Amino acid sequence: MFSDSNNAYNKDYFKTLWARFNKVNPSLDQSVTIYSFRHSGAIEIFKRTGSLTKLQKAMGHSSLKC
């Protein structure tokens, strides 16, 4: 997804990167989490495609129902 490598990232890869980023950016609002970017990504997908079906698939949801 992020490189041409076939090797999977370990399960804490992004957590570790986020912790390092927070350490060197102390002005970052501490209420922002790496999970916050999932919502930003979802909005961007919808803005670009206008498709709820594509958004549903990208977010890994099995249904559009609440």
* Domain contains 63: yes
pLDDT band at 3 (very low <50, low <70, confident <90, very high): low
State phi, psi for 55 to the nearest 5 degrees.
-65, -45
Q: Please tell me the pTM assigned to this model.
A: 0.58
User: What is the domain extent for residue 54?
Assistant: 10-19+31-66
In a domain, 26, yes or no: no
Per-residue burial over 21-45, b if 16 or more Cβ lie within 10 Å, else e, is eeeeeeeeeeeeeeeeeeeeeeeeb
| Interval 26-65: pLDDT, tens | 888 888 888 888 889 999 999 999 999 999 999 999 988 8
Q: Would residue 40 count as lying in a domain?
A: yes
- Whether 4 is in a domain gets the answer no
The count of domains in the chain is 1
